[in-house]
Amino acid sequence: MDDEFELTTPPEGEMRQAGRQMTVAAIIITAFLMIGKLMGYIKEMLLAGYFGKSGATDAYKVVYNSVIFTIYTKIEKLLRPTYLPQFVRSREEEGEEAAWRVGSIITALQFVTLLMLAAICIVFAEPILGFVGKGLARNSEHLRLAVVMLRIMAPALLLFSLSVMPELTLHSYKRFTLPAVADASFRTAMVLVFVALLALVWNPTNPTAIYALAVGVVVGGCLRFIIQIPGLWSKLRMFRPSLRVRENKAVVTILSLMPPVVLGLVFSTFRTWADSRFGTDIGEGVYTCLDYARKLPDLFLQLLPLAVSFVVYPFLSDWARRGEHNKMADALVTMTRVMAFIFVPTTVALMVLSRPLVTLVYEHGAFGEEGVLLSSLALFCYAPGLLFFSLEGSINKWFFAYKDTGTPNYVGAACAVLHIVIGYVGVYVLHVGIAAIALALTISKSIKVIILYGLIRRRIGAIDVRKVLQFAGKLALATAIMGGAIWWLHTATSPGLAELELLAKHPKLPALASLVLGAVVGTCVFLAVAAIMRVEELGTVVGHLLAKVKKLRGR
């Protein structure tokens, strides 16, 4: 399927055509993100089964989450609001040759930076891990495992993090499929290499078998970069690496936009490091349980919200450049209502069904009852922030479209400090444990999004507040009735499910039954109440599905 879009629609139909284009692109990205998330959960289930809530798992997660993946995500968040719009602007105003000169210089700068970061990670692996995962140092074997894994994974930064450049460049051409395929391939390769090495090289009962996953990161990271290159093959003749920064005004502009972004990224990195340090300080396996819990809401957050945040940005940039503020307001309201319609009821369902969900996904092999209890508690505390997590990535794009990289990053930095303070007080003063770390993210992210919504109102067109409040009231009532139905069902069926567990001698059967019953009944009740109250989003979704069915019948 060709996913390269051109904005050639007449003015009177532009908003409708833009909506269609964004929908198609979001569906494409979501489909491949689903594949990637599925492979990610397979990896987590294998990790839980083989290594459980152990120091070896802590070591891997601290290295990957707090160092390797942190560097990758920070580079992506640095370049998306700075490089991507400037590349598009240079291409439109000066031609493709000029745009690719910009891309060539930024790529060269990124490569040199990554080379230095990889060298630092290899040479100073032990002090780095002693800082971000202090609890690992209490056990020399766990620290040794982490040091070796960091040195294995560090070279992957060169192509894994460098894969951000072809991804953003393809997005600038409004081509979204190949980057999504590349990301799914990265996650798939991690799992396949992990399984193959456990079968052929490492004994899974030996803690050093965790190295197999580190090798999987290297292979997957390289694959993520290589797969995207064919999509730019016809353009690569214009790619000429250079470090002549001062001679290119567009590159200077990009660099001038970076300081606020860098500030925000530094504080968010401190937040990530704080979580790993707090978790490892509480006790062995706590950080692993925290990460397992965070992965479950990510199933929802890294599908539709992530796809929308990718797709909406080029369109917002066009509207902001042309001063079409009403379109910016309409898009914001529409996006927010859709996310609320999906994620508010999902939040309640996750809170009620957190225990059976964790049991179903993770409880097997070396991951037992204690791990289930810790992960369930963390998931319960993460769930209330689900709507705000889903909105964060997109609301930032409204500011970036106005060439404002400062406001969202300054607010984000302040909220990252709030996160660290809440976590520190909860862990070391109140001794709340894992719940404090999860609540720190929920509270700080929610406050950040609320502040950004208040600030963006000054720049966009008018919003019909009355209609928004009416929608919020209907949604709250539908969700409350749904939550009550799920809770009643869960309470009423618990004795029978407990007997089923005794008969089956397997905790996953009652957990599966509880989840299926809760999901089916909850969905039916929510949709029925939404239909009775005529919630607009339900009619939009049903109408879209009926139109698709009619079209298929016509064929």
Q: Tell me which residue of 174, 463, 166, 167 sits closest to 315, measured CA to CA.
A: 174
What are the phi and psi torsion angles at 236 (to 5°)?
A: -65, -20
531 belongs to a structural domain: no
Q: Which domain holds residue 186?
A: 13-239+246-463
Token digits of residue 121: 């990670």
Q: Which pLDDT does position 550 carry in this prediction? A: 56
First to last CA, the chain: 18
Domain membership flag for residue 288: yes
CA-based diameter of the chain, in Å?
Answer: 75
Cβ neighbors of 135 (< 8 A, separation 6 or more) are: 58, 277, 279, 280, 281, 282, 283, 284, 287
For the whole model, what pTM was predicted? 0.73
Which contiguous run of DSSP H or E holds residue 430?
A: none
Query: Distance (Å, rounded) from C-alpha 363 to C-alpha 340?
Result: 31
Q: Which of 463, 88, 484, 415 is nearest to 268 (CA)?
A: 415
**Residue 469 located in a structural domain:** no
The closest alpha carbon to 142, from 154, 126, 157, 153, belongs to 126
Q: What's the chain's length in residues?
A: 555
For residue 526, tell me if it sits in a domain: no
Calpha distance 331→6 (Å, rounded):
19
Task: Note the pLDDT of residue 14.
Answer: 52
Taking Cα atoms as reference points, which of 45, 42, 56, 39 lies closest to residue 365?
45
Burial label for 118, CB within 10 Å (0-12, 13-18, 19+), is: buried
pLDDT in tens, the chain (555 residues): 334 333 333 344 554 555 455 555 555 666 666 777 778 778 888 888 888 778 888 888 888 888 898 888 888 888 888 888 888 888 888 888 999 999 999 999 999 999 999 999 999 999 988 887 777 777 788 888 999 999 999 988 888 889 999 999 998 887 878 888 898 899 899 999 999 998 888 887 788 888 999 999 999 999 999 999 999 998 989 999 888 888 888 899 889 888 888 888 889 888 988 998 898 888 888 888 888 888 888 777 766 666 666 667 767 777 877 788 888 888 888 888 888 888 899 999 989 888 888 888 888 777 778 888 999 999 999 999 999 988 887 888 888 888 788 899 999 999 999 999 999 999 999 998 899 999 999 999 999 999 999 999 888 877 878 888 888 898 999 999 998 998 888 788 877 766 666 666 666 777 788 888 888 888 899 888 888 887 776 665 555 545 544 554 554
Q: What is the pLDDT of residue 121?
A: 92
pLDDT of residue 196: 92
- Contact partners, residue 248, CB within 8 Å, separation at least 6: 101, 102, 105
Question: How far apart (Å, rounded) are the C-alpha atoms in residues 476 and 350?
Answer: 16
Determine the 3-state secondary structure of 460 from DSSP.
coil
R_g of the chain computed on alpha carbons = 24
Q: How many angstroms separate the CA atoms of 144 and 149, rounded?
A: 9
How far is residue 272's CA from residue 9's CA, in Å, rounded to a whole number? 44
Q: Is residue 502 part of a domain?
A: no
Tell me if 2 is assigned to some domain.
no
What per-residue confidence (pLDDT) applies to 449?
A: 94
Q: Tell me, what's the pLDDT at 122?
A: 93
Residues 6+ apart with CB under 8 A from 438: 290, 293, 294, 377, 378, 379, 381, 382
Residue 240 CA to its chain's centroid (Å): 32
Residue 68 is given by DSSP the state I
Q: Where does residue 460 fall: left (phi above 0), alpha (psi -120 to 50 degrees), or beta otherwise? A: beta
SS3 418: helix
Q: Is residue 401 part of a domain?
A: yes
Torsion of CA 154, 121, 296, 135, to 10 degrees: 140
Tokens 């060439």 map to which residue?
403
Strand ranges, E, within 443-524? none
479 lies in a domain? no
Is residue 242 classed as helix, strand or coil in its secondary structure?
Answer: coil
CB 458 within 8 A of CB 324: no
Q: How many domains does the structure of the chain reveal?
A: 1
Per-residue model confidence (pLDDT) at position 319: 80
CA distance 203 to 199: 8
DSSP state of 505: T
